[in-house]
Amino acid sequence: MAHIVTEPCIKCRYTDCVTVCPVDCFHEDAEMLVIDPDVCIDCGACIPECPVQAIVTVDDCPETQKKFIQINAEKSKSLPTITEKKTPLAEGKS
């Protein structure tokens, strides 16, 4: 059961989650983070760190967010890994 980043991360991109990830499975583009499902160990440490509740398990993913399962899988293969906290795109959005 992999974890994924969903729509609330778009144009928000808090990075608190990347600092607790033990396997560096987060990747970033200009608007959001994604999780590499092949690297994620499903520890769940990232979920409570996201102030906008953008991270969910695949099993708990709402139907309206299912497209992000594929988005995370595809984008994570070509985007750079992020392991350090950065300034969010939308400060104070939480």
Does the pTM surpass 0.75? The reply is yes
Report which of 46, 57, 53 is spatially closest to residue 85, judged by C-alpha positions: 46
Mean pLDDT of the region 60-81: 97
Helix (H) / strand (E) containing 3: strand 3-5
Q: What is the pLDDT of residues 35-67, one digit of tens each?
A: 999 999 999 999 999 999 999 999 999 999 999
DSSP secondary structure code for residue 17 in this structure: G
Which of 3.40.50.10420, 3.10.20.30, 3.30.70.20, 3.40.50.300 would CATH assign to domain 3-75?
A: 3.30.70.20
> Is the predicted pLDDT of residue 90 greater than 90, yes or no?
no
